[in-house]
Amino acid sequence: MNVLIITPPLVQLNAPYPSGAYLSSFFKSLGHKATWLDLSIELVREIFSRRGLEHLFALTEKKAMEKAKAAESQGDEETARNLRRYVLQSELWISWIDDMMNILTDGNGTSSRETCHKFMFSPNVPRGARMENYIESLDREPNADDCRNLATMALADIADYITVVFDREFSLVRYAESITVNETSFSEIEKSIDSPVLKEFYGRVLESKIDIKEKTLVCISVPFAGTFTSALFTGRWLKEKFGSRVFISFGGGFINTELREIKDKAFGKYADAISYDRGYGSYKNLLDLGIFDGNFSDPLYKMTLLNPEIKCAEHKNPGYEKFENQMTETIVPDYSDIDFSRYPRVADDTNPMQRLWSDGAWMKAYLAHGCYWHRCAFCDTTLDYVSSYKMTSIENLYKGLSSQLDEHKIRGIHFVDEAMPPKAMVKFADLALSENKNYSWWGNIRFEKVFTRDMADFMAAGGLIGVSGGIEIATGSGLDSISKGTDINSIVKACCAFKEAGILVHAYMIYGYFGETEQDTINSMETLRQLYAAGLLDSCFWHKFVLTRHSRIYSEWKEG
């Protein structure tokens, strides 16, 4: 069976999202011919190229000048000036864009250092508002070392131009997220499919990258809300282009959390099935029955069929559950279809911990599926990605990742676990040390007392460079109210151990939780202030609490 795995746009720029790597490995292990296309980076490369900007300015120059005139008439001189400047400098943007991308991909086979000097100081280089603000914010004279920061601002400037003049749903790392999040009707989401960026740029990507001659299973991964509209565009394009030659299945994080109950038959215009959770069991069931034979009299394990009518998934099957767990333990993500040199490493933050998310060529994997605690009241504890904890074979994972890291000539791993098991972290560090491999790795943890200074030192020696974890509500009563399973003393000790070992630390926080008073929030903020003052945190992010239907607290709320 031919299998095509697609990552639709847009996700983070600097590394591929890992679902495609896991699916590719899975299908190949069963003897199928699998190909993974990361169309997120392909769309970025299509837009941010000489050809792309020539097309963009040809489509938008007239509208940009009209918007500039309108802004001027309303007294907005700054907007008018910026819009006119984009148009007047369009040839400079077109001539420089490939060099900008070259700078952000560390040369991509061509030396970029010499270009940096000209890019920083030449008067014949385009400048946008973000670029100017960056240079003006420096408390010193700019130099060539600022080049990557400035090139990052240049991409953001072009993205701003696209958003204002061409497609308001565009951003660098997501597409039409607000529509997907805010609209409750599928028919309303459908209206966004024929948007400018998808029609004028993404359609060109699909035409150039996909040509299906034989019957093919197409798996479209939808990890975030900001990839859903482009996934629908992809599914529709495939059906119109290849018809009965393709069987299209959607899966991924957004599908698992937001589309567990499909009632709208219109979804069948874009896909033939929806695969839930890890996908290994559902696709095995589908392949065992014969995808194109149509022999689906009984419900499939964790797969809802959409055509000719909706047939809901069966979520219990001991045989496929056992198979799925065995696969989870042994699988190693397969990045053989990925060219990491095509991914820009953007310098969008001066904070060293924040930079890890966007700067660096990370090979993404997990040490364990699910969360070993899976009791937090606010979390999706009824869903497989949290509740079904299964540790991988660390030796097997290390061996597989190590060979691919060496082959791709990169040194970074981002573990995307819900919470890396401490035992697995130590084992991975030990394996890296035993082979004297200079890898760098980081990921999510739980701040627990098990993380001692000796343990942190050992893991740092074995490549651990950063950890991120949820504190959520930094008070004793707050931690108890969310069933966090740790306490302030343990959090402080863990942060101290990591920081003394030279490991970066990031905390996730929430506010607005059920019953949380204004004073509770103030107390939590004060704890964070003290952690910063003591040098125990490098960064944090405050999330407004959002109730998820898959959490324990939601069930309690419904029951009154």
Q: What digits encode the pLDDT tens for the residues 179-201?
A: 676 666 888 889 889 999 999 99
In a domain, 343, yes or no: no
Q: Are residues 464 and 538 in the same domain?
A: yes
**Same domain for 198 and 59:** no
Does residue 338 lie within any of the structural domains?
Answer: no
Give the residues across from 505 on adjacent strands.
Answer: 467
CB 99 within 8 A of CB 115: yes
For residue 414, the cross-strand partners are 364, 442
Q: State how far Cα 228 lies from the chain centre.
A: 13
Confidence at residue 176, expressed as pLDDT on a 0 to 100 scale: 62
CATH of the domain at 542: 3.20.20.70
Query: How many folded domains does the chain comprise?
Result: 3
- The last residue of a domain, from among 127, 143, 166: 166
Give 283's strand partners. none
Please say whether the dihedral angle defined by the alpha carbons of residues 16, 192, 225 and 325, taken in this order, is positive or negative. negative
Q: Are residues 151 and 60 located together in one domain of the fold?
A: yes
In-domain check, residue 197: yes
| Domain boundary, last residue among 330, 365, 389 | 330
Whether the Cβ atoms of residue 390 and residue 369 lie closer than 8 Å to each other: yes
CB contact at 8 A, 201 and 55: yes
Q: How far is CA 539 from CA 351, 369, 506, in A?
A: 7, 26, 5
In a domain, 214, yes or no: yes
Other Cβ atoms less than 10 A from the Cβ of 113: the count is 11
Residue 380 covered by a domain? yes
What DSSP character marks residue 197? H
Domain that residue 182 falls in: 2-41+177-330
Which residue from 514, 508, 432, 501 is spatially nearest to 465, judged by alpha carbons?
A: 501
The verdict on 386 and 488 lying in the same domain is yes
Strands 504-511 and 412-415: unpaired
Residue recorded with tokens 């019953």: 515
Q: What's phi and psi for 115, nearest 5 deg?
A: -65, -30
What is the bridge-based pairing of β-strands 504-511 and 539-544?
Answer: parallel
Grouping H, G, I as helix, E, B as strand and the rest as coil, residue 85 is helix
Within 13 Å of residue 149, how many CA atoms lie on the same side as its CB? 16
pLDDT of 178: 67
121 falls within a domain: yes
Instruction: With H, G, I as helix, E, B as strand and everything else as coil, classify residue 207.
Output: helix
Report the CATH number that the domain containing residue 246 is assigned in CATH: 3.40.50
CB 128 within 8 A of CB 86: yes
CA angle 386, 390, 394 (to 5 degrees): 125
For residues 362 and 462, membership in a common domain is answered with: yes
Name the DSSP letter for residue 293. Answer: G
Record the tokens describing residue 423, joined without a space: 């035992």
Per residue in 379-404, pLDDT tens?
A: 999 999 999 999 999 999 999 999 99
Confidence (pTM): 0.95
Count the alpha carbons within 13 Å of 418 in the hemisphere toward its beta carbon. Answer: 22
Same domain, 500 and 540: yes
Same domain, 399 and 538: yes
Structure tokens, 325: 């767990």
Q: What DSSP state is assigned to residue 308?
A: S
Residue 336 lies in a domain: no
Same-domain pairing of 200 and 270: yes
Local structure of residue 94 (DSSP, 8 states): H
Map tokens 């802004």 to a residue.
Answer: 71
Can you list the pairs that 369-375 forms with residues at least 24 positions away whose Cβ atoms lie under 8 Å? 369/278, 369/328, 370/418, 371/417, 371/418, 371/419, 372/419, 372/421, 373/419, 373/446, 373/485, 375/483, 375/485
For residues 158 and 182, membership in a common domain is answered with no
pLDDT of amino acid 295: 73
Residues in the chain with pLDDT values less than 50 = none
- The residue out of 271, 299, 330 marking a domain boundary is 330
Q: Are residues 383 and 454 in the same domain?
A: yes
Give one word for 514, left, alpha or beta, with left for phi > 0 and alpha for psi -120 to 50: beta
Strand (E) positions, 50-199?
none
Q: Looking at the structure, do residues 184 and 162 belong to the same domain, yes or no?
A: no
> 252 in a domain, yes or no?
yes
User: Are residues 212 and 314 both part of a single domain?
Assistant: yes
Show Cβ contacts of residue 384 under 8 Å, excluding neighbours closer than 6 positions: 256, 276, 277, 278, 370
